[in-house]
């Protein structure tokens, strides 16, 4: 069911002890800058607004390390509340390391760095 592209693709995780399932959508980006950690992701609004997934994982690969940002359905909706969709209905996310923190910088105002997303980094316990 969830593995079909028309249904949004994704992975279903099953906790064998509790029987609880979680539907997870993964997005991956290689680094797009040579001198800093930066990843770009494109997400269709249907994946976020239609309650298809419980968790969203955005990963950025840089210098042989994977940085994973794990957000719940409510957290991703809170993050997109200040974002703009493009004409095709996609949200764009730029995950960028600035100093020792990570920010989502795509739709930030020039005076602001962006939205601090460090709190979502490697939060695997959500699974």
Rounded to whole angstroms, the Cα distance separating 47 from 126 reads 19
Residue 79 has phi, psi (to 5 degrees) of -65, -40
Per-residue pLDDT of the chain (127 residues; tens, 9 = 90+): 444 555 556 888 888 899 988 999 999 988 777 788 889 999 999 888 888 899 999 999 888 899 999 999 999 999 998 888 999 999 999 999 999 999 999 987 666 788 999 999 999 888 7
CB 24 within 8 A of CB 11: yes
């Amino acid at each position: 069911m969830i593995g079909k592209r028309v249904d949004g693709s994704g992975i279903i995780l099953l906790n064998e002890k509790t029987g609880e399932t979680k539907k997870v959508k993964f997005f991956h980006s290689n680094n797009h800058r040579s001198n800093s950690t930066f990843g770009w992701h494109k997400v269709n609004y249907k994946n976020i607004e239609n309650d298809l997934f419980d968790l969203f994982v955005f990963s950025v690969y840089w210098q042989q390390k994977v940085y994973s940002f794990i957000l719940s359905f409510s957290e991703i909706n809170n993050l997109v509340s200040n974002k703009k969709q493009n004409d095709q209905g996609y949200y764009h996310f730029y995950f960028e390391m600035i100093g020792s923190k990570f920010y989502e910088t795509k739709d930030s105002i020039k005076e602001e760095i962006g939205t601090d997303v460090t709190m979502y980094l490697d939060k695997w316990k959500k699974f």
